[in-house]
Chains A and B, each alone.
Chain A
């Protein structure tokens, strides 16, 4: 089983739709989680951190479910500009390989008019 897994999609949704992605992780002791956004052939950029209590930033909501070992990203009222690849990241617990980061393979989202 991969350490961090995402449904690669692609997800094709119309403008205004609500879309959700999940990302599962295999190490139950993973410490921190993030969502990054990557536009085509560009560098990834941080979208949001994922907190235990869940967090919201405008149209974006991130949730963490430690019992089932997954994080989620919900996008409401999708815009054309939301079209991108969304990458989830898990960081290991303190100890050996503490600086290692594991990314999921990314979920492709296309928002169409």
Chain B
């Protein structure tokens, strides 16, 4: 089944404890992206990747890191999480540039930082 998977789906952690949220797609998509969703603010893009080893900042990259060493994986790293990073996170992928292709989203990761 073609899909985008994220792990973990739910995570409660403490301030400052490094964490990684994994994202994997099995559709051989070139473009991948991370978003956070907060009430009243909608979906905001954190980072995106046009292809392997090519990443760039979205609108809210502060406090996050990403890497794209393989085409299928695009992990999101929070080196020192803070409570303002409590949010619902979505990973998405598309076969090519998102101006021309549908974004497929993962099921979401709900992160709480205390």
Would you call A105 an interface residue if the criterion is a C-beta within 8 Å of the partner chain's C-beta atoms?
yes
* Given A41-B108, A44-B105, also A102-B99 (CB < 8 A): no
Cβ contact within 8 Å between A43 and B99: no
Q: How far is the CB of B45 from chain A (nearest CB, A)?
A: 6
Separation in Å of the A40 CB from the closest CB of chain B? Answer: 12
What's the interface size class on B, roughly? 20 to 34
Q: Is the interface of A mostly helix, strand, loop or mixed?
A: loop
Q: Which of A41-70 contact B (CB under 8 A)?
A: 41-46
Please report which residues of chain A, range 9-47, place their CB below 8 angstroms from some CB of chain B when the two chains form the complex.
31-32, 34, 36, 41-46
- Chain A, interface size category, equals 20 to 34
Binding site for A on B (CB under 8 A): 31, 33, 35, 40-45, 48-50, 56, 58-59, 88, 90, 97-100, 102-103, 105-108
Chain A interface residues (CB < 8 Å from chain B): 6, 8, 31-32, 34, 36, 41-46, 87, 91, 97-106
